[in-house]
Amino acid sequence: MVSAPTLKKRINELLESSDLNTITERKIKDSLAQEFGEVEIKKHTRAIRNTVEKFLETAGAGDEESEGDDDEADEGGSAKRKAGSQGQPDGKRTKVEGDSYTLALSGMKKLAVRTFKGKVLIDFREYYKDKSTGEEKPGKKGLSLQREQWMALKAALPQLAAALEAGNTDMPHVQIGSMRRAYVSEYK
Ordered DSSP codes for 129-184? E-TTT--EEEEEEEEEE-HHHHHHHHHHHHHHHHHHHHT-TTSPPEEEETTEEE--
18 and 98 share a domain?
Answer: yes
Give the model's pLDDT for residue 115.
Answer: 80
Within a domain: 169: yes
Residue pair 151/132 in contact by the 8 Å Cβ criterion? no
4 and 56 share a domain?
Answer: yes
Number of compact structural domains in the chain: 2
Structural domain including 36 reads 1-145
131 and 164 share a domain?
Answer: no
Residue pair 91/48 in contact by the 8 Å Cβ criterion? no
78 and 111 share a domain?
Answer: yes
127 and 158 share a domain?
Answer: no
Instruction: Tell if the pTM clears 0.75, that is, is over it.
Output: no
Of 100, 119, 120, 118, the closest CA to residue 110 belongs to: 100
106 and 170 share a domain?
Answer: no
59 and 95 share a domain?
Answer: yes
174 and 121 share a domain?
Answer: no
Within a domain: 187: no
Q: Is the pLDDT of residue 161 over 50?
A: yes
Q: What is the pLDDT of residues 68-88, one digit of tens each?
A: 333 333 333 333 333 333 344
Q: Which of 71-75, 126-130, 159-163 has the lowest mean pLDDT?
A: 71-75
From CA 176, how far away is CA 144, in angstroms rounded?
12
Identify the top-confidence range among 45-59, 70-84, 87-101: 45-59
Give the model's pLDDT for residue 58.
Answer: 66
Of 148, 80, 154, the closest CA to residue 113 belongs to: 80
Q: 27 pairs with which residues across the strands?
A: none
55 and 111 share a domain?
Answer: yes
Residue pair 113/103 in contact by the 8 Å Cβ criterion? no
Q: Supply the Cα-derived Rg of the chain in whole angstroms.
A: 18
Q: What is the mean pLDDT of residues 136-148?
A: 87
109 and 176 share a domain?
Answer: no
% of residues, the chain, pLDDT over 90: 2
5 and 27 share a domain?
Answer: yes
